[in-house]
Structure 1
């Protein structure tokens, strides 16, 4: 026993005296004390411990320091998270405070003094320092991470802008989008045999008359429009109260024969009329166009007995009234017209509607609006609304109908003698309900009668404004668009898009040029064209009547100084002004002299830029560049008409060149206009005469102002 006890006592270490701590142990204990101090400070500054929560995986990874903390925390029931926070771990500081006291005492136990234990203590110190650094980074303020991630949505982006074509077609009439595209190169020849009309729909009499006028074939726009306006005989009636005809809109290049396209079918349809009534109304923007269209009607309708009248304001109002209506002494409900066809300007037409008794549009069969884009763009005393209202019958009040029905039901049949039945007073079918007689009874089986007026719109630049087209109140309209197809066939959508986006078609026989020069050199460039390029039989367009008069005076001074002997012999080039400053008689006389080639150059404003047809015009000069593509189209359209060749020249100032080119480029027409470069050598011979003419013009204006 004593030996065993002695052996046991020898094997046990004797701790009578604690050993002195090493330097490593002191550093370890000092660092540990600092760590505890830091932990207490962080725990006090934490409000509720929310910012330190982490998942169980993070707690396990960050809390493991080789001392069995995971096992103790998992075994402690007080430290287990609730069910709601099952996925969120407690922060490290919270775990440190909840450690068992036994563990804390073990941390304070004396460390081993062996060399291996010293290295282990140093490693433990290093791991604890890393643990403190990680915990400090976790406790920094940050936004809480959501438990369940929201579904990711694509970032918003701006949609692609619609194309110009899509924007251009918005708001347009469906009938315009479905327009019929006509090739301008198509011609239709016809003969005078009675058996066949050649597909034109024209009678033998009309075809013979066209032959007498030198017309043996129809142009493209005429071959499309005339058969449409001359349907089978059952639809050629002058009154269609139960089946109103389709309206018509035509866009065709200048000089393509639009005037004859409506003159022929109107003349053909009105030949069957017996009683004279106002059945065709043609509205034009200028007096000159009115006179020109009247000449065309008179030439085609010769020998048919149709009465054609005009209203332009050229004559007195009383004179025009006497020419238009038969009776003004008493009121005639159906009107008393003296003419079958009236050609008028819009302003004078409104004067007669409001101031001429018995002037009525209720019998109107055709309403033609030529140069429609210009007429629809200008109000002219709101002429369109008044004309459309005059073609429609006013609605009769229901009270008046009920009173008439009740009164006639009380009348005995024997009292209805033939003398008590009034005459219809030449009312149109749609206006019969306006009779001031109780015998005019409407029943439930009566069909509503509609006006028979058919609207026909013609223009080289048909309006694309939906509001203007809607104001016409068109009935099931039909559109014809004449587009050039020189290199390829144009589809229906492309043809309509070209019309809407103002890409107009030009005659194929037209040559276009432009000269870019200084403002002071423009008159010299004009004289160069006249004398070096033989530009005669020409129309020269200026921007105003004042510019027209000034340019003509300069031209006269230049020609006098250029060849004094030519003036005496009569070989001098003659230029005259044609503008609104002249009286109607003077304008008519000058236009006649120009047609007879007694005048070589006509300097004019845009007064005759639309519709005027002068066959021998071979050149058009825009002395002042047009400001928009529509004006350019109508100016150059005065030449190269009806298949003839022609040249168009535009003098462009340097500051206007960019705008002019942009305008042509927007219409896809810039490559068709060739630039002509004029050097100083080309005009050297003309410059002295030009400077002399300028001096004379200056002296003439100085005398007139003084």
Structure 2
């Protein structure tokens, strides 16, 4: 493949456009890093290990309990009340048909329990309803719904990793992950990165992008070690910038997996994890640092013996997301710390005007690699839509979701919400309905987020209830269904959400609940769909049953939310008390420390900085993290 030299402008930069189909997760090859990691022949072995990062996160504070604990207490109270009703019924104290507000009749029977997966009485009946009741009809012109449950695998030929001239330790790590053939984006970028060129890559989700830049970076580091006269002096040579903490944790896990047969060290600098332990790691000058922009600036300003003046490779991953989240000024500030002779690699799912600005600012005569970055979904993805309009459905959207999750999609399902508090409310409803779920959004601590990912990944939880925090980059093997409770605002965000399923040639399903304001986006999806769209109709009796049950659980939800508010107030008081106590007993040590400095943007005065993350989340009018 011949690559011509280009100038710094986008018009004259060499552009490598790859066919549309190569951007998809192709059958027979591990195009997605984590899709190639987990194998059924290896018991619970995952290359992306989140345990170390989760252990480094701050634990629960005094008086703080988990959501599962609170839900468990309410369920225990419900069972105790049911037992009392049974006892009273036997004594003739209740009428036989009377129910309490929890949906329990006088005989102690939970009349709505059979709706969920835990009810054995109607389990076989619900399986039949799944085939006959959930009517799936084609809404395209041709009629008939194409099935992708068993997609035909096509044979694809390409370069192997041995053909890319990688060192033996890297080939050994790749072989251990079960990879054989490099994906198109890997074939295009690995030789270019090894040559030292700046690169701008536009790759769709699941194209193997992370390994596409980690492998050549590791190769460059190994080659540099071979020519180094002294092995005692080390310095940070590579910095990878990620827009979110979860993506940074995942990227570090990729580095660790691919560098397992080398002595290359990788450290992480992200918010939400212990700053002191990160300082200790950074002082040892690891070759690779994976970071989020804000925490990296903090360490550059305040961590002694840590610098990036010898960095040779800078990677900006998910650059469009970096800028969308408001990190423009932080990125500008960081670029001042790096040498102008560095190699810069920029990856972005979309090439927005802001990304083009960043390309001109930070890259020199870049090679551009495009793998059909815009508006593509996997050909094995089935897209279905549930119209939520009319008197019977507009106020029963929550009942529609619980009906779907209890009857049709019972495991490996991600549900996206538009607001954090809505995701948390459904976490409580799912728990009270005894559906195993985990939540992931910006109101959680970093430790809680990583634990939720681990639980869902390890199939300890059947549902992941999240905001757009999980829409980009997070790779979880075997996700069968994505449900959009709230539709995103843009087609690009929709593509990223549904890209969590139908990866590596596997079948997947996306279910979206459509309201009147979503019609414009639905037309865009229909126009660019690679397969037929379908409408799913939920049986009205199931919706009515869940409506009754949700109404019965509402007092329990309010009870838990009240306990959480009390815990929050208690934690705030405890923090103030601990701070005052610390000042009294360690005042001399505290005031003798060097004063920390903070980077503040023009639009971010000191008082506003404490709430910056929250304000950034609500940037679009609705909080989507």
TM-score bucket (shorter structure): 0.5 to 0.7
Aligned to 1:480, the other structure's residue is in SS state: strand
Q: Which residue of 2 aligns with 1:367?
A: 314
Q: Which residue of 1 aligns with 2:291?
A: 344
CA distance in 2, matches of 1:641, 1:591: 18
Query: TM-score, normalized by length of structure 2?
Result: 0.62
Q: Is the 8 A contact 2:415 2:464 kept in 1?
A: yes
Moved more, 604-613 or 634-643: 634-643
Q: Which residue of 1 aligns with 2:106?
A: none
Are 2:518 and 1:657 equivalent residues in the alignment? yes
Return the offset for 1:292: 0.9
Compared with structure 1, are the counterparts of its residues 698 and 211 closer, same or farther at alpha carbon in structure 2 (3 Å cutoff)? same
Q: Is the 8 A contact 1:201 1:230 kept in 2?
A: no
Return the offset for 1:575: 1.5
Are 2:474 and 1:603 equivalent residues in the alignment? no
Are 2:188 and 1:247 equivalent residues in the alignment? no
The correspondence for 2:352, drawn from 445, 463, 470, is 463
Are 2:423 and 1:554 equivalent residues in the alignment? no
Deviation digits for residues 377-421 of structure 1 (CA, Å, limit 9, x no counterpart):
3443712112221113xxxxxxxxxxxxxxxxxxxxxxxxxxxxx
Root-mean-square deviation (CA, aligned residues, Å) is 2.7
Compared with structure 1, are the counterparts of its residues 381 and 267 closer, same or farther at alpha carbon in structure 2 (3 Å cutoff)? same
Q: Is the 8 A contact 2:186 2:208 kept in 1?
A: yes
Return the offset for 1:172: 7.5
Deviation digits for residues 101-148 of structure 1 (CA, Å, limit 9, x no counterpart):
xxxxxxxxxxxxxxxxxxxxxxxxxxxxxxxxxxxxxxxxxxxxxxxx
Aligned to 2:336, the other structure's residue is in SS state: helix
Compared with structure 1, are the counterparts of its residues 579 and 206 closer, same or farther at alpha carbon in structure 2 (3 Å cutoff)? same
Return the offset for 1:208: 2.5
Return the offset for 1:271: 1.1
CA distance in 1, matches of 2:355, 2:172: 42
CA distance in 2, matches of 1:391, 1:361: 6
The correspondence for 1:289, drawn from 247, 252, 265, is 247
Compared with structure 1, are the counterparts of its residues 658 and 381 closer, same or farther at alpha carbon in structure 2 (3 Å cutoff)? closer
Q: Which residue of 2 aligns with 1:589?
A: 451
Aligned to 1:271, the other structure's residue is in SS state: helix
The correspondence for 2:547, drawn from 672, 675, 690, is 690
Q: Which residue of 1 aligns with 2:379?
A: 508
Q: Which residue of 1 aligns with 2:121?
A: none
Deviation digits for residues 636-655 of structure 1 (CA, Å, limit 9, x no counterpart):
111122332211111111x2
CA distance in 2, matches of 1:270, 1:466: 28
Q: Which residue of 1 aligns with 2:238?
A: 280
Deviation digits for residues 14-72 of structure 1 (CA, Å, limit 9, x no counterpart):
xxxxxxxxxxxxxxxxxxxxxxxxxxxxxxxxxxxxxxxxxxxxxxxxxxxxxxxxxxx
Are 2:226 and 1:268 equivalent residues in the alignment? no
In the alignment, structure 1 segments of 5+ residues that lack a partner are 1-170, 232-244, 327-337, 393-450, 484-498, 561-572
CA distance in 2, matches of 1:190, 1:180: 17
Are 2:274 and 1:316 equivalent residues in the alignment? yes
Q: Is the 8 A contact 1:254 1:611 kept in 2?
A: yes
Deviation digits for residues 136-184 of structure 1 (CA, Å, limit 9, x no counterpart):
xxxxxxxxxxxxxxxxxxxxxxxxxxxxxxxxxxx97214684433454
Compared with structure 1, are the counterparts of its residues 184 and 305 closer, same or farther at alpha carbon in structure 2 (3 Å cutoff)? farther
Q: Which residue of 2 aligns with 1:632?
A: 494
Are 2:262 and 1:304 equivalent residues in the alignment? yes
CA distance in 2, matches of 1:470, 1:480: 13
Aligned to 2:439, the other structure's residue is in SS state: strand
1:375-386 matches, within 5 Å, as 375-380=322-327, 382-386=329-333
CA distance in 2, matches of 1:550, 1:693: 11
Q: Which residue of 1 aligns with 2:367?
A: 478
Compared with structure 1, are the counterparts of its residues 538 and 472 closer, same or farther at alpha carbon in structure 2 (3 Å cutoff)? farther
Are 2:165 and 1:201 equivalent residues in the alignment? yes
In the alignment, structure 2 segments of 5+ residues that lack a partner are 1-7, 27-155, 226-230, 564-625
Compared with structure 1, are the counterparts of its residues 254 and 512 closer, same or farther at alpha carbon in structure 2 (3 Å cutoff)? same
Q: Which residue of 1 aligns with 2:208?
A: 257
Specify which structure has the bigger relative contact order, considering alpha-carbon pairs within 8 angstroms and separated by 6 or more residues.
2
CA distance in 2, matches of 1:511, 1:462: 27
Return the offset for 1:678: 0.9
Compared with structure 1, are the counterparts of its residues 550 and 379 closer, same or farther at alpha carbon in structure 2 (3 Å cutoff)? closer
Query: TM-score, normalized by length of structure 1?
Result: 0.55
Are 2:535 and 1:676 equivalent residues in the alignment? yes
CA distance in 2, matches of 1:384, 1:553: 38
Q: Which is greater in Rg?
A: 1
Deviation digits for residues 419-457 of structure 1 (CA, Å, limit 9, x no counterpart):
xxxxxxxxxxxxxxxxxxxxxxxxxxxxxxxx4311111
The correspondence for 2:301, drawn from 354, 357, 367, is 354
CA distance in 1, matches of 2:440, 2:353: 31
Return the offset for 1:360: 2.0
Compared with structure 1, are the counterparts of its residues 574 and 624 closer, same or farther at alpha carbon in structure 2 (3 Å cutoff)? same
CA distance in 2, matches of 1:207, 1:290: 24
